[in-house]
Structure 1
Amino acid sequence: MPKILVCYKWVLDEQDIRVNAADASLDFSRAKYKISDYDKNAIEEAVQLQESQGATIDAITFGGPAVKQSLKDLLSRGPDKVYYLADPAADKADGHVTAGVLAAAARTKGPYDLIICGEGSSDAYNQQVAPRMAARLGLPAITFVQSLKLEDGRIVATRKLGDCTEVVTIDGPAVVSVVPEINKPRIPSLKQVLAAAKKPSEEIKIADLGLTPAQLTPKTVSMTVKGFVMNRKNILFKEPAQADNVAKLVAALAKEGVC
Structure 2
Amino acid sequence: MTVVVAYKYASNPQDASVGADGVVDWSRAKASVSEYDPVAISLGREVASQNDSELVGVSVGSSVVGSSMAKKNAMSKGLDRGVVVADDAVATWNATKIGSALAELVRGIEGGDLVITGDASVDAGARTMSGLIAGFLGWPCFQEVCGVEKSENGWLITQVVSGGTRRIDVSGPVVVAATSDAVPVKVASMKEILAAGKKPVNVVEAGSLALSDAQLEVTGRAKPEAKARKNVVFSGENAASELVAALRGDGVL
The TM-score with structure 1 as length reference comes to 0.81
Distance 2:103 2:25 in 1: 33
SS state at 2:49 partner: helix
Distance 1:192 1:108 in 2: 27
Distance 2:65 2:228 in 1: 39
Q: Which position in structure 2 is the counterpart of 1:117?
A: 117
Q: Which position in structure 1 is the counterpart of 2:10?
A: 11
Change (3 A) 1:198 1:229: farther
SS state at 1:74 partner: helix
Change (3 A) 1:225 1:157: farther
CA contact (8 A) 2:2 2:48 kept: no
Distance 2:17 2:50 in 1: 42
Note the C-alpha offset of 1:92.
2.5
CA contact (8 A) 2:118 2:178 kept: yes
The unaligned stretches of length 5 or more in structure 1 are: none
Note the C-alpha offset of 1:66.
1.8
CA contact (8 A) 2:71 2:197 kept: no
Note the C-alpha offset of 1:231.
9.6
RMSD of aligned C-alpha atoms?
3.2
Q: Which position in structure 1 is the counterpart of 2:216?
A: 220
Amino acid at match of 1:12: S
Q: Which position in structure 2 is the counterpart of 1:40?
A: 38
CA contact (8 A) 2:36 2:121 kept: yes
Aligned identity (percent) is 26
Amino acid at match of 2:7: Y
Change (3 A) 1:224 1:59: farther
Distance 1:179 1:227 in 2: 30
Note the C-alpha offset of 1:232.
10
SS state at 2:146 partner: strand
Distance 1:173 1:126 in 2: 24
Note the C-alpha offset of 1:258.
6.8
The unaligned stretches of length 5 or more in structure 2 are: none
Change (3 A) 1:178 1:153: same
After superposition, the C-alpha distances for 1:62-88 in whole angstroms (9 at most, x for unaligned) are 001122242111111111111110123
Change (3 A) 1:227 1:43: farther
Q: Larger helix proportion, structure 1 or 2?
A: 1
Matches within 5 A, 1:77-226: 77-152=77-152, 154-209=154-209, 211=210, 215=212, 217-223=213-219
The TM-score with structure 2 as length reference comes to 0.82
